[in-house]
A and B are shown apart, each in its own frame.
Chain A
């Protein structure tokens, strides 16, 4: 079959639309996260989302598990991104603790209570995405479209504020920007993206969507605007290329997209150092 024949299938078109939107919104936030030294938050939250998915499966929530997973992930994001004052356990340690804790509890619960005959297969597909992206229902597609569109819209509307709190949060606060509100908003957006991206690349590989496009763009460009725009563009191109390659070569979708992202990063590094 040629590629065009594949596009005749709605599931393939859905996968492309959702893949593009998710990677676009992940990369936009990625720029801020990388610069604020929160690269690992995506990883930590995705493990939390995995744990929550396991709990949802044990509770028998089935296809409405998003209603459980999303709030839990948002709560953890707010917990991890709140300002460090007064916290007993700080930044990276809190992320590490939450992430392995959720992973262990999630796997344990699935192992003990899952009704499925193939626990290892279920776990593997949650962690690595497997073919989930090609089995999206119309409802999930619309939900993904609405949520990623909301993320992009919020990012555009608050672009200047996001720049200000990324570059110098204390200064922004001193001149009267409501930094707590924006940090909270950022935490919610990240959680939404993580939960969405689990469908695309699986829990273990989400960080790649957040981190790689931003790092690639930073090798090439020197203003925040150029970095943000090109991170979005690189991410979308990598997602499309990854999905197409995975269909043609019958490779796992998530891992293929991440491999393309990695390749793009290497190319950008070479080009960047050649320019300098």
Chain B
């Protein structure tokens, strides 16, 4: 059984349908890239998968014992966070929140988990640094470490490299594919088609003629070429 299966999923707000009849499934170890135009409903899809808003119709089923609160999420940054006085360690640890129901203080296991997540993201040395003083790439790694605290198996990443310089972008892609090689299932919204085709195992194209399948099928179907042409003809 798949980790997550979506059938006939329609998404939107207040009855306005953004996306209709989405069908796809995510298996353990997949690296699924969600692509599509701005406003096509990619972020809405992610929020719906996370349970932050209800689907208009259709179903989302979790399999293999995965529960919704086991999902890790790397959201896009909010303006509040840019000048927030918080140490890196505090933010990463907050990912352990609500793992075992309510408990007022973090356990030793939670703290070890946060240490481990920071080590994997190579930010252990930044533990006591202030979040708002970090570079964009470092901030993303902090939020990724927080997501790792929340999740063991499935990560949802919403445009993780938005606003990063090329160097930081490469580093972050590298870290994400390391995680994927280590067994973590990845769902990533991306505007970067080249990266999507380089790293992903599966592609979900949202909006217009929706597509779901392996990367190779996507290339054969010519979806990427059509998409790229509209975006100004980058070469694949």
Say if A and B assemble together: yes
CA distance A161 to B146 in the complex (A): 14
CA distance A226 to B85 in the complex (A): 9
A160 touches B94 (CB 8 A): yes
Binds B, one of A45-53, A54-62, A66-74, A217-225: A217-225
Return chain B residues, CB-CB under 8 Å to A221.
85
B97 touches A170 (CB 8 A): no
Chain B nearest CB from A233 CB (Å) reads 16
The answer to whether A6 has its CB under 8 Å from any CB of chain B is: no
Chain B nearest CB from A222 CB (Å) reads 3
CA distance A178 to B173 in the complex (A): 32
| Residues from 143 to 195 in A contacting B, C-beta threshold 8 Å | 157-161, 163-164, 167-168, 170-177
The answer to whether A35 has its CB under 8 Å from any CB of chain B is: yes
Return chain B residues, CB-CB under 8 Å to A163.
86, 90, 94
Interface residues on B, range: 35 or more
The answer to whether B232 has its CB under 8 Å from any CB of chain A is: no
* Residue ID in chain A nearest B130 by CB atoms: A222
Return chain A residues, CB-CB under 8 Å to B167.
none
The answer to whether A138 has its CB under 8 Å from any CB of chain B is: no
Number of contacting residues on A, CB 8 A?
Answer: 28
CA distance A36 to B87 in the complex (A): 17
Return chain A residues, CB-CB under 8 Å to B128.
223
Return chain A residues, CB-CB under 8 Å to B52.
170, 173-174
Chain B nearest CB from A72 CB (Å) reads 30
Return chain B residues, CB-CB under 8 Å to A170.
47, 52, 75, 78
A157, A173, A223, A226: the one contacting B104 at CB < 8 Å is A157
Return chain A residues, CB-CB under 8 Å to B97.
160-161, 164, 172, 175, 177
Task: Decide if the interface of chain B is mainly helix, strand, loop or mixed.
Answer: mixed
CA distance A203 to B47 in the complex (A): 41
CA distance A35 to B52 in the complex (A): 22
A175 touches B87 (CB 8 A): no
A158 touches B84 (CB 8 A): no
B90 touches A174 (CB 8 A): no
The answer to whether A37 has its CB under 8 Å from any CB of chain B is: yes
A171 touches B75 (CB 8 A): yes
Return chain A residues, CB-CB under 8 Å to B91.
167
Given contacts A157-B104, A176-B98, A168 and B78 within 8 Å (CB-CB): yes
CA distance A223 to B81 in the complex (A): 13
* Residue ID in chain A nearest B72 by CB atoms: A175
* Residue ID in chain B nearest A181 by CB atoms: B102
Chain B nearest CB from A128 CB (Å) reads 32
B104 touches A160 (CB 8 A): yes
The answer to whether A205 has its CB under 8 Å from any CB of chain B is: no
CA distance A233 to B99 in the complex (A): 32
The answer to whether A15 has its CB under 8 Å from any CB of chain B is: no
The answer to whether A227 has its CB under 8 Å from any CB of chain B is: yes
A164, A175, A222, A226: the one contacting B73 at CB < 8 Å is A175
Chain B nearest CB from A232 CB (Å) reads 15
Closest CB pairs A-B (n = 7): A222-B130, A176-B69, A223-B87, A176-B98, A174-B50, A177-B98, A164-B94
